[in-house]
Amino acid sequence: MANLKTTYMGLKLKNPIIVGSSGLTNSVENIIEIAKEGAGAVVLKSLFEEQINQVANHTFNQGEFNNYYPEAQDYIQNYSTENDVATYLNLIKDCKASVDIPIIASINCMSDNEWVSFAKKIESAGADALELNIFVLPSDPNKSSSDNEKVYFDIIEDVKKIVNIPIALKLSYYFSGLAKTLEMLSWTGIKSLVLFNRFFSPDIDIDKMEIKSSNVFSSPAEIVISLRWVAMLSDIVKCDIAASTGVHDGEAVIKQLLVGAKVVQIASVLYKKGFKEIPIMLKEISDWMIENSFDEIDDFRGRMSLKNSNNPAAYERVQFMKYFSGIE
C-alpha cells in the first residue's frame, strides 16, 4: 500500500476517507466496524437542534403530564433534552474507548441559541473535533443575503467561545456570493469547510399528487458540483476542505484530492454497498499512486486546482460548448 497518511484540521489520519455523518454513524458497533475496515476518521450522526425540541415536545404531549402545573413542562423538556444529549455524549465516550481513529461530533443547527452550551459537553466527552451542519434555506424574500449569512458567522463566533477542539463547517452552496462568503467564513478560525452537504429535496408523485422525497442517496454523477467548487476554492480559503457528495469510489477520492481537498466524506456508497467498500476504495487510491509514482498524497494534492490546472477556464465555464461536450 502507498502511504495514504494525511492531516485534517490538525488531526492525524491514516488516510483521507472519512465516513460522513449519517444513520450509519449512530452506534458504537458501526463505528467499530468502520474503523476495522480502515476509514481515516468518522463524523457521528448529527445531534439535531430540531430533534432535541421535538423529543422534548413529544414527551410533554403524551398525555400523562397534561394535568401538571406549567412548571412541569420546563422540567420535562429539560429532562428530555438532557436525556437525548446524554445518549449522544455516551456515544462519543464509547467510540473513544473502542477505536483509535478520530471521532468528530456533529451538531445540526440553525441558530445560536441554547444548544451552544452543549458544545462544551461534547468536547468534555472526548470528541476530537466538532462539525457544525448549518443550512439556512434562503427562501424568505424579506431577508437579504447578508441576513442569511450572518447566522453562520454568529453561530461560529458563539461556539468558538465555548470549545477549543477544531470546528468544521458543513454547508450547502445556496449563497449568492459563494466564493466570497466561504472565504470570509474560512477567516473565522474554523479548521475546515465541508463542501457540500446534500439535503432532503422534495419531489412530486403525480399519481397521488403528493409531495415525496427525492432520492435519499447520491449518485456518482453528483460529484461535479463539489469538484468544481473545491477546485476553485482550495487555493483561496484559509482552512482545510473536506469534499462531500457523490464520492462513490477510489477514482472520485483521487479527483477531489487533485483539486485540493484534504479529505473526502462518504455516506451513500456505504448505504448502497456496505462498509467493505472502504478498503476497496483505499486500494484503488493506493494502486493509482503507485502507478503514477506518488509516494504520498501531498505529491499530487491540489495539482488540478484552479490555480494549478493547465486549463483553469474549464472550471469557470458554465455554458456547454461543442469543444467540451462533443455535442452540438
Binding site for ligand FMN (CB under 6 A): 20-23, 45-46, 106, 108, 133, 170, 197-198, 216-218, 244-247, 265-269
* DSSP structure string for 253-290: HHHHHHTT-SEEEE-HHHHHH-TTHHHHHHHHHHHHHH
Answer yes or no: are the C-beta atoms of 185 and 145 closer than 8 Å: no
Q: Which residue has the cell 494525511?
A: 6
Which CB sits closer to ligand FMN, 170 or 301? 170
Task: Tell me which H or E stretch contains 207.
Answer: none
Q: How far apart are CA 145 and CA 74, in angstroms?
A: 35
Side-chain half-sphere of 56: how many Cα atoms within 13 Å?
A: 17
Closer Cβ to ligand FMN, 223 or 289, answer by number: 223
| Least distance in angstroms from the C-beta of 161 to ligand FMN | 22
**121 vs 198 by CB, closer to ligand FMN:** 198
Provide, rounded to whole angstroms, the least separation between the CB of residue 212 and ligand FMN: 16
**Is the Cβ of residue 173 or residue 217 nearer to ligand FMN in the bound state?**
217
Of the pair 186, 244, the CB lying nearest ligand FMN is at 244
Residue 62 CB neighbours (<10 A): 10
- Minimum CB–partner distance for residue 218 and ligand FMN (Å): 3
CB of 248 to ligand FMN, least distance (A): 7
CB 242 within 8 A of CB 264: yes
Residue with cell 485540493: 260
Query: What is the smallest separation between the CB atom of 88 and ligand FMN, expressed in angstroms?
Result: 12
